[in-house]
A = this chain, B = another copy of it.
Amino acid sequence: MAFRPATVEDLPAIVALLADDPLGAPREANLDPLPKAYHDAFARMQQQPGNDLIVAVDQDSVIQGCLQLTITAGLARQGLIRATIEGVRIAKAHRGTGLGTRLFEHAIGLAKAAGCGMIQLTTDSQRTEAHGFYTRLGFTPSHVGMKLTLSPHDAPEQTRIRHG
């Protein structure tokens, strides 16, 4: 298994993984051809240094896992750089094989190389199995993760995420 940043060719496989999940399924649109919204989103990510999709690829070049790793500068904690992990998925056939642990170890290594002093993530309160997985990796459930949905979410232009 190899770990590398995703390319645009990987998008259908990644969206398939995102959708192959009880919580993710109703939120995604895993169609062929892939909806433009995903390509637009990937283009926006490419514009943001330190915002990467990391994939786990098997010996047949099939994507078996993914996560999003974002490196964020900040003033708090004497200028601590944070890594944030989102959208973690492991293909069903590989769950419980240690692939998730190896994907996380790879991401932790990338975060350290980027100078991060902390990795953070939020996990849905319903994902009780995931909580055990993260705790075994050394994560502490010290915080409450709060979300506010904004609506309507109309397709934004790439330029909107820039300053000003």
* Chain A residues near B (Cβ < 8 Å): 5, 11, 14-15, 18, 24, 27-29, 35, 37-38, 40-42, 44-45, 47-53, 68, 70-82, 84, 86-87, 108, 111-125, 131, 134-135, 137-151, 153-157, 160-163
Q: Report yes or no: A146 in contact with B117, Cβ–Cβ below 8 A.
A: no
Q: Report yes or no: B28 in contact with A77, Cβ–Cβ below 8 A.
A: yes
Q: Report yes or no: A124 in contact with B112, Cβ–Cβ below 8 A.
A: no
Q: Report yes or no: B47 in contact with A75, Cβ–Cβ below 8 A.
A: no
- Considering the complex, give the chain B residue whose CB is closest to the CB of A134: B146
Q: Report yes or no: B49 in contact with A160, Cβ–Cβ below 8 A.
A: no
* Contacts A14-B75, A68-B74, A75-B42 given; does A146 touch B162 at CB 8 Å: no
Contacts A48-B72, A76-B86, A117-B149 aside, 6 further interface pairs with beta carbons under 8 A come to A28-B76, A45-B75, A52-B163, A75-B87, A84-B84, A137-B148
Which of B38, B140, B147 sits near A147, CB closer than 8 Å?
A: B140
Q: Report yes or no: B120 in contact with A145, Cβ–Cβ below 8 A.
A: yes
A146 to B137, CA, bound (A): 11
Q: Report yes or no: A143 in contact with B134, Cβ–Cβ below 8 A.
A: no
A27 to B79, CA, bound (A): 10
Residues of chain B within 8 A of A115, CB atoms compared: 153-157, 160-161
A134 to B53, CA, bound (A): 30
Residues of chain B within 8 A of A120, CB atoms compared: 122, 145-148
Q: Report yes or no: B14 in contact with A117, Cβ–Cβ below 8 A.
A: no
CB distance from A151 to the nearest CB of B (A): 7
